[in-house]
Structure formats: C-alpha cells, structure tokens
C-alpha cells in the first residue's frame, strides 16, 4: 500500500527591499517551504512576499479598506476542487517584529504561525465567527506543535 503523496508546492519567495537582508538569513526558503507544506491539504502555487510598513499599509488600504499595516494579508485565487490552491501571502515585517516583541515570542515562531495562518486562509479557512475561529486556531496549534513551536494563542513570557 502506498503512503499518501504530499501536496505539491510551487513557491515564490520575495524580499523586495534591500533592508530585508537579515530576514533572508532568518527566513531561508527551505524553512518557509517547510512551514507551508505542514499546513497544506492540497497542491498549491503560492507567493510569499515580505514587505515594509508602507507597502503593507497601502495593500491593506487598497484591498481591505483599512488604513494601517497588518501582520499578514492573504489573497486567495481560483477556488476550485480541481485546481491547486493559488494565492499570495504578504507579511509586513515591521508589524510581525513588533508583535513578536510585545508577545514575548521568538521571531521565527511568530513568522511560522502567521505563514501557517495565511496558508490556511488560502485554502478557505476563516475566523469570521467563534466556531470558525476555534477550528482554525485548533488546526494552527496542531500544525505548529508538529513543527516544534508552542501554542501561539497562549501568552508567552
């Protein structure tokens, strides 16, 4: 009997600003791909883009009507049972770094959580009501535990 095949991942990682050289070292493509694969339930074509506060704010304002930079934005495309999951995840580095400090979390653990969170959104998961939020948080917590990270919803420090 053959083991189930892991979902295929086509991944583009973008660090558009020179200021993100340290992030390239902290977030190598292989590590990002591992976090994504842990959260995938279907084949996927994803782009992960790490941005500054200005770009993060502009995207959040344009697409969500909210005039501030947020930690992660997910743009999911082509929701079909026969097509790969397709989407863009945009992570605003200054926001992620600030949250990690404030929440007393290691920076890579916070990035792992937000990437897993965004990948789940790309696959149709949401947290619009309490039941959806509990389901999504439970999935995230399980995935992160398998990756060796603590529960992101438990206050650290």
User: Is 110 annotated as contributing to ligand binding?
Assistant: no
User: Is 121 annotated as contributing to ligand binding?
Assistant: yes
User: Is 113 annotated as contributing to ligand binding?
Assistant: no
Sheet with 72-77: list strands edge to edge: 9-14, 44-51, 85-92, 72-77
Q: How far apart (Å, rounded) are the C-alpha atoms in residues 29 and 47?
A: 11
Two structure tokens written together for 30? 């292989």
**pLDDT for 154 beyond 90:** no
Element (H, E) at 44: strand 44-51
Which pLDDT belongs to residue 20?
A: 67
**pLDDT for 131 beyond 70:** yes
The verdict on domain 9-147 having CATH code 3.40.390.30 is yes
**pLDDT for 17 beyond 80:** no
For the chain, domain boundaries: 9-147
Q: How far apart (Å, rounded) are the C-alpha atoms in residues 35 and 3?
A: 21
Of 19-23, 29-33, 43-47, 140-144, the range with the lowest mean pLDDT is 19-23
Two structure tokens written together for 141? 């917590």
Which pLDDT belongs to residue 16?
A: 76
Pair 46, 86: CB distance under 8 Å? yes
Taking CA 97 as the corner, what is the angle to CA 94 and CA 101, rounded to the nearest 5 degrees?
140
pLDDT digits (tens, 9 = 90+) for 97-127: 999 999 999 999 999 999 999 999 999 999 9
| Mean pLDDT value across residues 79-91 | 84
């Amino acid at each position: 009997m053959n083991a189930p095949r892991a979902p295929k991942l086509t991944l583009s990682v973008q660090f558009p600003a020179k200021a993100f050289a340290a992030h390239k070292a902290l977030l190598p493509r292989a590590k990002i791909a591992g976090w994504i694969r842990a959260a995938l339930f279907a084949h996927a074509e994803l782009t992960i883009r790490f941005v500054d506060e200005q770009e993060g704010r502009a995207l959040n304002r344009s697409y969500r009507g909210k005039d501030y930079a947020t930690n992660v934005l997910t743009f999911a495309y082509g929701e079909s049972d026969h097509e790969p999951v397709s989407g863009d995840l945009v992570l605003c580095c200054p926001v992620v770094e600030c949250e990690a400090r404030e929440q007393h979390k290691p920076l890579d653990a916070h990035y792992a959580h937000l990437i897993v969170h965004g990948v789940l959104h790309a696959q149709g998961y949401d947290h619009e009501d309490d039941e959806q939020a509990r389901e999504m948080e439970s999935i995230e917590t399980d995935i992160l535990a398998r990756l060796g990270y603590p529960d992101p919803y438990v206050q650290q420090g």
